[in-house]
A and B are shown apart, each in its own frame.
Chain A
């Protein structure tokens, strides 16, 4: 059912089409594709997996995403690739775009968390970590990412 909704609502959206065709290489595979469904341990669909150009997974979602959730999720995946490759400046640019354009999306709290970690990794200033908790507790008090950042309140 989720795949049908993605096909009927999300993927035909003109903003989604433009974003995907501009920013990612889209690859569509059946849920029982051999050998990739097993290799990527696909157990439920829709499953969207973001890979780097070497084929390594960095981000995954399972279940329906509306257009206003899919685009920020893809931005988060792009930022995670740069973060994992330790290109923190590039990751920060993508995260700022996400937070500017999709501040109410489900991806936003994780983006704030990752933005703060990028800031800390770049500067080694623990203030960047404290700011994660301050921002999340103010704007997203019920997010799991606020809970994950709670130790930083002690900095």
Chain B
């Protein structure tokens, strides 16, 4: 499971994983300040 969130950084790759794993994509737009 890991001790951190395994963030993707590319939408195409995230969508490919979403299809393969039958999961939604959670897109987090963040401002590092």
Contacts and interface: CB of A to CB of B under 8 A. Distances in A.
Interface of A: 1, 3-4, 6-7, 11-12, 14, 16-18, 20-31, 33, 36-37, 40, 42, 45-55, 58, 74, 77-78, 81
A49 B1 CA distance: 23
B29 A74 contact: no
Q: 10 tightest A-B contacts by CB?
A: A53-B18, A28-B7, A27-B14, A51-B25, A24-B26, A31-B31, A47-B29, A49-B27, A3-B30, A53-B19
B26 to A, nearest CB: 4
Interface residues of B, number: 29
Interface of B: 1-11, 14-15, 17-19, 21-33
B9 to A, nearest CB: 6
A50 B25 contact: yes
Nearest to B15: A55
13 contacts: A7-B30, A16-B5, A17-B4, A25-B17, A25-B18, A25-B24, A26-B7, A26-B14, A28-B7, A28-B28, A40-B29, A50-B27, A53-B15
B24 A46 contact: no
Interface of A is mostly: mixed
Contact of A3 (B21, B26, B32): B32
B30 A27 contact: no
* Chain A CB within 10 A, most for which of B7, B23, B28: B28
A23 B18 CA distance: 10
Given A25-B8, A29-B9, A18 B28 contact: no
